[in-house]
Amino acid sequence: MKSITQMHYRHECLYDVEWQALRVSLLKEHRTDGGWTTIEGTANNLNALAEYRLQHNFETRDEACWRSINLMNAVLLGWRNEYSEIAKDLIIVDRTYVQMRLGDGLWWKGRTWDWDQVSKDLQSLDEKTFFRIKDNLDGRVKTSIRRNGHTKFRPELMKFLELVKECNK
């Protein structure tokens, strides 16, 4: 079994607090436009992701692209038949574009994730956003345990949840 210390930057960077706040804000329960489940919500979410990527400079743009691709993959994995097929096609087209932008490079090699900064960012997060992130990730872990009898081994997620627990909000 992997040790908790065997984490990978490309997974660690998914637990940036700003990113987690954005990711959770795009879910249908926090939106009036249906989030990923409607054409309007999907278009709005894809615009929010594009804006997010544009806010990043050369040094962090690859991370922003990677996070966007990862989220779009997760949305597509959880797709339900009652959702709009046009919305699904919008996601696929945007994901393809972002994947082409990121390319096949090993952009994460040689980088070190700053968990101390994540801890500081969690401390400064407003309570509403903090609990949205916490509740969403706790729910994902519980769903994984219910489906599989255990959670998929994700040391990066466990580290993030450990920091959330230490926050004591």
**pLDDT single digits (tens) 51-90:** 999 998 877 889 999 999 999 999 998 888 788 889 999 9
Average pLDDT of the chain, as a whole number = 89
Q: Is the pLDDT of residue 30 over 70?
A: yes
Q: Is the pLDDT of residue 103 over 50?
A: yes
Q: How far apart are CA 51 and CA 48, in angstroms?
A: 5
- Comparing CA positions, the residue from 158, 34, 24 lying closest to residue 87 is 34
| Number of domains within the chain | 1
Percent of the chain with pLDDT over 90: 63
What's the chain's length in residues?
169
Q: How far apart are CA 95 and CA 6, in angstroms?
A: 28
Q: Is residue 52 part of a domain?
A: yes
Most distant pair of Cα atoms in the chain: their distance: 44
Q: Is residue 115 part of a domain?
A: yes
Under the banding of pLDDT at 50, 70 and 90, the label for residue 5 is low
Q: Is residue 70 part of a domain?
A: yes
Q: Which helix (H) or strand (E) holds 145?
A: helix 127-148
Q: Is residue 82 part of a domain?
A: yes
Distances (CA, A) of 89 to 48, 99, 125: 17, 15, 34
Q: Is residue 3 part of a domain?
A: no
- Give 167's Cβ-side CA count (13 Å radius): 25
Q: Which helix (H) or strand (E) holds 45?
A: helix 39-54
56 and 13 Cβ atoms separated by less than 8 Å: no
Q: Is residue 137 part of a domain?
A: yes
94 and 45 Cβ atoms separated by less than 8 Å: no
Q: Is the pLDDT of residue 150 over 50?
A: yes
pLDDT for res 95 = 93
Q: Which two tokens mark 12?
A: 């660690």
119 and 163 Cβ atoms separated by less than 8 Å: yes
Domain hosting residue 57, numbered range: 9-167
Q: Is residue 4 part of a domain?
A: no
Q: How far apart are CA 45 and CA 58, in angstroms?
A: 23
